[in-house]
Structure 1
Amino acid sequence: MQKNILHTLFQRMNPEFAFAVEYWDGKTEQYGQGDVQLKIKIGEKVPLTRLMNEPSLTFGEAYMNGDIEIDGKIEDLINLAHSNKQLLWTKNLPNLPKLSFKKAKSNIEHHYDIGNDFYSIWLDETMSYSCAYFKDENDSLDQAQINKIDHVLKKLQLKPGETLLDIGSGWGWLIIRAAQLYGVQAHGVTLSEEQYTKTNERIKSLGLEQQVQVTLSDYRELPKQNLCFDKIASVGMFEHVGRDNYPVFMETVNSLLKDKGVMLLHTITHQTEEPGDPWIQKYIFPGGYIPSVREIISLLPEYNYHLIDVENLRLHYAKTLDNWSSRFEEHLDEVREMYDETFIRMWRLYLQSSAAFFRNGGLGLHQILFTKGVNNDLEQTRAFLYK
């Protein structure tokens, strides 16, 4: 009976994607048209009723536990799922509560405080955990992450003596490089104790204590310190804000940014407003919500923000994730000294499936540049970015 239910579901899927399923009784069925490159092995311990009701979450958990095996590329599996998204995902947007300071911190700790030792295994030398920028297809990950930081800093058009804030400053390389290259006073803020500790170590080792500082706090606390900045960047943090908190984010930026100041928002995006993947929300980024581009753009006029530039680095993020995934797999022995096989399978699925979603267009990565009020003193073309 349960096998028949799954068989019916798979028969309803897009026939353009050929795949095979090996069931727990040893029998294999083929679905779709063409040559089969993907085979899914389903064990008898998979809760089939739940798989029908919550396919993404149940499938992800079953893969983590080894009850489902994938013979082929995870990217092919994601392309299959994405082509059947109306069948597998709900259209309803999540009704998420506003994140308190305490809840926001616990969500960040869930992902970013796994440990600096873990992230240092597969990130680049800067430990940049966001989309890199490959100016040349042969750029190494290290070079591409420096390219990304430089691309952000160039867009902000920094000048010596200006003040820069990085909201969600990660392991600190953006504020450090901004101080080194542009002579600005740079300030970072993070909720991650691991990132805070590593950033301070880097600042001290480079002798930049008088020029760069980092705060361990919620970004919403900064206005209480009467701080004000010429330029603000936020790279890979907006996805954690939560949909109901967008006005709070924009109001906070407004209180921190000087008149005519420039803000660069670097964030993962959806094409339209969509609920988050339940497996990702439970195991990878609790409390997260990926915005659509139009959600962000529509907010700007409400705060007298003037849009300057929008750029999509979607394929750059796919390549970034390819690099992370390869480095992760190359260092599995080191990862196994820290975590069990369930953790490894979870991260493998996360990294490889994310790359697939960026490559097939399910996700985008946008850099959105805007000013507070009218600023007529900025460069008139993009030519300066590529000098």
Structure 2
Amino acid sequence: MTLTQRRAQGTLPIGDAVASLMRDGMPVRFTAYDGSSAGPEDAEIELELVNQRGLSYLLTAPGDLGMARAYVSGDLNVNGVHPGDPYDALTLLQSRLRFRKPSPAEAMALLRGLGLSNLKPPPPPPQEHLPRWRRVVEGVRHSMTRDAEVIHHHYDVSNRFYELVLGPSMTYTCAVYPTADATLEEAQTEKYDLVARKLGLEPGQRLLDLGCGWGGMVRHAAREYGVKAIGVTLSRAQASWAQEQIKAQRLDHLAEVRFLDYRLVEEGDFDAISSIGLTEHIGVRNYPEYFGFIRDKLRPQGRLLNHCITRHDNVPRSTGAFIDRYVFPDGELIGSGRIITEAQNAGLEVQHEENFRVHYAKTLAGWCRNLVENWDECVAEVGEATARVWGLYMAGSRLAFERNEIQLHHVLATKTDGRGESGYPLRHPF
């Protein structure tokens, strides 16, 4: 029976359908639950479609969302790589997997051949957040209510899970590697110290850390620089863990972490403000309010260090369905040029900017190693589906940083006083 006849009769092998859509052939082995296959038999990596639900996911949400749904649910396996670090598979697929666009008639014939019953969308995995158009019930985008919900979705997974993946530093932001062979922990310590040096921290000063996570910067500033530090986070689990560590390290006379939206901080006149990984969550249209808040909270000649993921250009675009539904709901990225512009428009004087793109690729590789090494305990803690989400997200993000699709920028600025004095030295001291 010919391929055309099988399409017409609804008996088209899944492997044949996949092979027919490849522009340059299959770079990996593909096998399906109906016994069909495609691609080289000796390939090191195999995509295994386990069941009909997986096929329905692929057909009803083409692109990365459908594949993510099938993969997270265990309906699509990637054999030949560890689920905690599918980096090699993603690298190969992004480099060599090329789909061709079938004509409308051919697409309909393929769907008939695979069975039109597979076009009924299965319920998405429970790890998936609502699409943006349905999140209106949670409040206006980037309102305090909605921001609290999306932060809870991502960060309140399990403190133990984060300990296993992030390591002892409990730091979920880009590390700074002082040398190529430095460990992840050494690089995270260097990151915090570099931020402190850029801010010019000195004993007795006051620091506000926005989006402080598990309090790493707050503790470092208090312990190493004698700074009185306040951190705020929208994650109750993070705040609880951070406060326990502050007390355990006997830093509670200097350091504090609050479960609080940064917009509700009442204190002011801070010597320094650090924002490490918050800007991605606040929304580009809210940058004027964000930088205005920082300006108003700084004393004259105070400093800001803004650390955030950026794009390689300043062209607005969506983050993609997988990232928006599974990782950072409502997250937005833009280039460092826009961030510098908005900081300047708010009245801050930008003194220094630095790109740590390659450092984030190394950081993500380290987190994936931790996930692989602690896979069984991670799965026991959060379930295999959630662990798969993290492996896929971190490996994919590593690849994006390596390919210069996204970057990580520090922007250092001062609140220059009315006489034009910034308090900044003639040359950068760090």
Tell me which interval the TM-score lies in, with the shorter structure as reference length: 0.7 to 0.9
User: Match of 1:344?
Assistant: 387
Pick the aligned partner of 1:70 from 73, 78, 91: 78
Any residues of structure 2 matched to 1:34-53 within 5 Å, and which? Answer: 38-43=45-50, 44-47=52-55, 51=59, 53=61
Output the CA distance in 2 between the equivalents of 1:81 and 1:237: 29
Alpha-carbon deviations, 1:125-144, whole Å to 9, x = none? 22111111111222121111
Q: How far 1:154 sits from its partner (Å)?
A: 0.8
Secondary structure of 2:54's match?
coil
Q: 1:339 to 1:161 in 2, by over 3 A?
A: closer
User: Match of 1:168?
Assistant: 211
Alpha-carbon deviations, 1:189-243, whole Å to 9, x = none? 1111111112211222233222222221100111xx2422111101111111123
Conserved? CA contact 2:310–2:406, under 8 Å: yes
Conserved? CA contact 1:165–1:232, under 8 Å: yes
Q: 1:83 to 1:210 in 2, by over 3 A?
A: farther
Q: Which amino acid aligns with 1:62?
A: A
Output the CA distance in 2 between the equivalents of 1:84 and 1:241: 35
User: Match of 1:29?
Assistant: 38
Q: Which amino acid aligns with 2:78?
A: I
Q: 1:111 to 1:375 in 2, by over 3 A?
A: farther
Q: How far 1:285 sits from its partner (Å)?
A: 1.6
Q: Which structure has the larger Rg?
A: 2
Conserved? CA contact 2:350–2:413, under 8 Å: yes
User: Match of 1:238?
Assistant: 279
Pick the aligned partner of 2:253 from 210, 218, 221: 210
Moved more, 154-163 or 36-45: 36-45
Q: How far 1:87 sits from its partner (Å)?
A: 9.1
Any residues of structure 2 matched to 1:44-123 within 5 Å, and which? Answer: 44-47=52-55, 51=59, 53-72=61-80, 74-79=86-91, 80-81=93-94, 97-123=140-166
Give the TM-score normalised by structure 1: 0.86
User: Match of 1:264?
Assistant: 305
User: Match of 1:147?
Assistant: 190
Output the CA distance in 1 between the equivalents of 2:26 and 2:291: 42
Secondary structure of 2:329's match?
coil
Q: Which amino acid aligns with 1:29?
A: A
Instruction: Number of aligned residue pairs: give it.
Output: 371
Conserved? CA contact 2:353–2:410, under 8 Å: yes
| Residue 321 (structure 2) pairs with residue 321 (structure 1) | no
Secondary structure of 1:337's match?
helix
RMSD, aligned CA: 2.9
Conserved? CA contact 1:51–1:59, under 8 Å: no
Q: Which amino acid aligns with 1:40?
A: L
Any residues of structure 2 matched to 1:287-366 within 5 Å, and which? Answer: 287-366=330-409
Output the CA distance in 2 between the equivalents of 1:333 and 1:173: 27
Output the CA distance in 1 between the equivalents of 2:88 and 2:25: 12
Q: Which amino acid aligns with 1:380?
A: L
Secondary structure of 1:10's match?
coil
Q: Which amino acid aligns with 1:378?
A: Y
Output the CA distance in 2 between the equivalents of 1:268 and 1:9: 35
Output the CA distance in 1 between the equivalents of 2:96 and 2:413: 35
Moved more, 366-375 or 212-221: 366-375
Moved more, 77-86 or 322-331: 77-86
Pick the aligned partner of 2:228 from 185, 188, 210: 185
Alpha-carbon deviations, 1:25-70, whole Å to 9, x = none? 4444349xxx966443334433458547541111111111122222
Q: Which amino acid aligns with 1:190?
A: T
Q: Which amino acid aligns with 2:273?
A: I
Q: 1:337 to 1:51 in 2, by over 3 A?
A: same
| Residue 319 (structure 2) pairs with residue 276 (structure 1) | yes
Q: Which amino acid aligns with 1:311?
A: E
Output the CA distance in 2 between the equivalents of 1:324 and 1:165: 27
Task: Note the residue ranges of structure 1 that are not aligned, 5 or more in a row.
Answer: 89-93
Secondary structure of 2:369's match?
helix
Q: Which amino acid aligns with 1:263?
A: L
Q: Which amino acid aligns with 2:76?
A: I
User: Match of 1:197?
Assistant: 240
Q: Which amino acid aligns with 2:22?
A: F
Output the CA distance in 2 between the equivalents of 1:110 and 1:206: 29
Q: 1:191 to 1:63 in 2, by over 3 A?
A: same
Q: 1:333 to 1:347 in 2, by over 3 A?
A: same
Q: Which amino acid aligns with 2:423?
A: D
Conserved? CA contact 2:141–2:330, under 8 Å: no
Alpha-carbon deviations, 1:306-341, whole Å to 9, x = none? 221111111111111111111111112212322322
Q: Which amino acid aligns with 1:251?
A: G
Output the CA distance in 1 between the equivalents of 2:389 and 2:293: 35
Report percent identity of matched pairs.
31
Q: 1:185 to 1:332 in 2, by over 3 A?
A: same
Output the CA distance in 1 between the equivalents of 2:197 and 2:29: 49
Output the CA distance in 2 between the equivalents of 1:53 and 1:67: 14
Secondary structure of 1:160's match?
coil
Conserved? CA contact 1:250–1:303, under 8 Å: yes
Q: Which amino acid aligns with 1:295?
A: R
Conserved? CA contact 2:49–2:76, under 8 Å: yes
Q: How far 1:348 sits from its partner (Å)?
A: 1.6
Runs of 4 or more above 6 Å deviation:
82-88
Secondary structure of 1:214's match?
strand
Q: 1:213 to 1:101 in 2, by over 3 A?
A: same
